[in-house]
Amino acid sequence: MSSSSPISPHGQQTRVALISVHGDPAVEIGAEEAGGQNVYVRQVGEALARLGWQVDMFTRKANPLQAEQVQHCPGCRTIRLTSGPAEFVSRDEIFDYLPQFVSELLAFQQREGFQYPLVHTNYWLSSWVGMELKNHQPLAQMHTYHSLGAVKYANVPNIPAIATTRLEIEKTCLETADCIVATSPQEEAHMRSHLSSLGNIQIIPCGTDIDRYGAITRTAARQKLRIPQDAKVVFYIGRFDPRKGIETLVRAVAQSQFRADDNLQLIIGGGSRPGGKDGLERDRIEGIVQDLDLANHTQFPGRISNDALPDYYAAADVCVVPSHYEPFGLVTIEAMASRTPVIASDVGGLQFTVLPHETGLLVPPKDVAGFSRAIDQVLADPPLRDQWGQAARKRVETTFSWQGVAQQLGQLYSDHLRQFTP
C-alpha cells in the first residue's frame, strides 16, 4: 500500500471508493434514471467525509461536457471514468462496457499510487465491478442493491435480455461480498427468499438531511410557493416510471370526497427530458389527468431542485408514495422529516419507514379506492395530519439521519478494514 493513502490515528486506512456506475452522484436529481441511488451515494460520501474518511465516488461519464472530477467537499469527490460512449446509456445496456470501467479504475489507482482497500458498490452493475476488482487486489467489498432483479421482474410486463445475467450476478454478489448492506428488514427478507441463504447481510437504512427538511413551517412554505393557506395539497415527487404508481394516485384523487372543492391541489413533481423514456410516462399521466377532468386541480412543476424541495414537502397536507415496489423510498423519509404524513403502498421498505396510524397509512399497491380513502382521511382532519406529522419527524430524527447512517457505515467499514492493516 502506498504511503499516500491516509491513515487514521488508529493506524487504519481511511480511503474508500463508492462505486455507482450508472447513478452519478454529481448530477441533478429527478430526471430520467437519476433518483434515490444518486442521492444515497452522494449523501453517504459527504457524510463519511465529515467523519474523516477520504471518499472517492466512481461513476461512468455519460456526457462529453461532464467534468472528469467534481469535488463536493473536503475529502469527497466524484470521479468519472470512460466506460462506453460518453452519452446516456440505459442501465439495461451498460453491462458490456463494464470491463472498460474496471481497467479505467485500475489505471486510476496506478496513476494515483494507491489501491482502495475497501469498495462499497451500488446496484448490480457496480457489484460486478467490485467482484472483478477483487481478482486484481486485496479488497473488502460492501454492496447495496437499491433494487433486486428478482423482485423487479415479478412486477414488469417486459423482461429485458440482460435479466439472466443480472439475476446470476446478484446471487453471486450476496454469496461472496464481505457484507451486503440491506436498507430495510423487508429488503433483507427478499434477498433471503429470492437470492440465497448464504452471505453476510447487515441492515443499515437510508438517511435524510434532518436540518434541510423540516426547517420551514407549512404556513411559510405555502406563502413562498403561493399556495393558499386553506388549500388541500396532495404531493408526489419522484421519477416518472410506471412502477412508481402515479396513475393510482391520479385515479385516487379523482375519487376524493374533496374533488368538488376548488382548493384541492395535486402536485406531481419530478423531471423529464423531452423525448426521454420518462417523458412518455409523463405524457401518459397528463393524458389520464385530462381524461378524468382533473387538470384544474393538478400541477406538474417538473424537476424540483434541492433548494425548493423542502418547501414543497412542508406545504403539502400529505405526501403519497404509490409505488408498485420500493426497496426503501427516500421520498418517504424526506416528507416525514418535513412533518408531512405519508400514504404509501404496503410494500418493501415502505413497510419499514411508515408506521400505519402513527406517521401515515399503508395501502395495498394499485388499490385506487384504498388510496382515495386514506388521502381523504388525512385531508379531512388537520389535527390528525399534525399529530402524524410530528410523530413522523421524530421517527426520522431517531432512525434515519444521514449522520447516524454514516456512523453505522463507517463502523462497518472499520470492522472490515482491520484485516488490511498491520
Burial 250-277 (b: 16+ CB within 10 A, else e): bbbbbebebeeeeebbbbbbbbbeeebe
Query: Measured from the CB atom, is 102 or 148 closer to ligand UDP?
Result: 148
Give dist(CA 164, CA 152) in Å, integer.
13
List of residues 6+ apart from 351 with CB closer than 8 A? 184, 186, 362
CB of 313 to ligand UDP, least distance (A): 9
Q: Are residues 37 and 122 in contact, defined by beta-carbon separation less than 8 angstroms?
A: yes
Among 149, 271, 360, 365, binds ligand UDP (CB under 6 A): 271
Q: Are residues 333 and 354 in contact, defined by beta-carbon separation less than 8 angstroms?
A: no
Site string for ligand UDP, 327-366 (x = CB under 6 A): -xxxx--x--------------------------------
What cell does 386 get? 399534525
Q: Report the phi/psi class of residue 331: left, alpha or beta, with left for phi > 0 and alpha for psi in -120 to 50.
A: alpha
Report the residue closest to ligand UDP, judged by CB.
35
* Span from 33-41, 75-83, 285-293, 370-378 in contact with ligand UDP (CB under 6 A): 33-41
Q: Which residue has the cell 375519487?
A: 255
Return the number of other C-beta atoms located less than 10 Å from residue 168's C-beta. 12
Query: Measured from the CB atom, is 114 or 213 closer to ligand UDP?
Result: 213
Among 13, 27, 30, 133, binds ligand UDP (CB under 6 A): 30
CB of 261 to ligand UDP, least distance (A): 27
* Span from 132-140, 161-169, 304-312, 360-368 in contact with ligand UDP (CB under 6 A): 304-312
Among 45, 269, 348, 360, binds ligand UDP (CB under 6 A): 269
Any contact of residue 45 with ligand UDP (CB under 6 A)?
Answer: no
Give dist(CA 121, CA 251) in Å, integer.
38
Among 16, 17, 36, 335, binds ligand UDP (CB under 6 A): 36
Give dist(CA 222, CA 159) in Å, integer.
43
CB of 356 to ligand UDP, least distance (A): 19
Closest C-alpha among 209, 210, 271, 245 to residue 35? 271
Closest C-alpha among 366, 308, 325 to residue 36? 325
Any contact of residue 190 with ligand UDP (CB under 6 A)?
Answer: no
Query: Measured from the CB atom, is 303 or 416 closer to ligand UDP?
Result: 303
Distances from the Cα of 373 to the Cα of 77, 88, 299, 314, 321, angstroms: 46, 41, 22, 22, 15
Among 304, 315, 316, 361, binds ligand UDP (CB under 6 A): 304
Any contact of residue 181 with ligand UDP (CB under 6 A)?
Answer: no
Among 35, 214, 322, 360, binds ligand UDP (CB under 6 A): 35
List of residues 6+ apart from 17 with CB closer than 8 A? 55, 56, 57, 58, 105, 116, 118, 119, 120
What's the per-residue H, E or C state across 190-251?
Answer: HHHHHCCCCCCEEECCCCECCCCCCCCCHHHHHHHHCCCCCCEEEEEECCCCHHHCHHHHHH
The order of strands in the sheet holding 298-302 is: 298-302, 264-269, 232-237, 318-321, 342-345, 360-363
Query: Measured from the CB atom, is 38 or 115 closer to ligand UDP?
Result: 38
Query: Measured from the CB atom, is 178 or 281 closer to ligand UDP?
Result: 281
Among 50, 134, 212, 303, binds ligand UDP (CB under 6 A): 303
Q: Are residues 195 and 174 in contact, defined by beta-carbon separation less than 8 angstroms?
A: yes
Q: Are residues 127 and 297 in contact, defined by beta-carbon separation less than 8 angstroms?
A: no
Site string for ligand UDP, 226-255 (x = CB under 6 A): -----------xxx----------------
CB of 331 to ligand UDP, least distance (A): 4
Query: Measured from the CB atom, is 27 or 289 closer to ligand UDP?
Result: 27
Site string for ligand UDP, 58-97 (x = CB under 6 A): ----------------------------------------
CB of 304 to ligand UDP, least distance (A): 4
Any contact of residue 322 with ligand UDP (CB under 6 A)?
Answer: no
What cell does 271 get? 423531471
Query: Measured from the CB atom, is 46 or 376 closer to ligand UDP?
Result: 46
Any contact of residue 324 with ligand UDP (CB under 6 A)?
Answer: no
- What single-letter DSSP state applies at residue 261? -
Q: Which residues bind ligand UDP (CB under 6 A)?
A: 29-30, 35-37, 39, 237-239, 269-271, 303-304, 306, 309, 328-331, 334
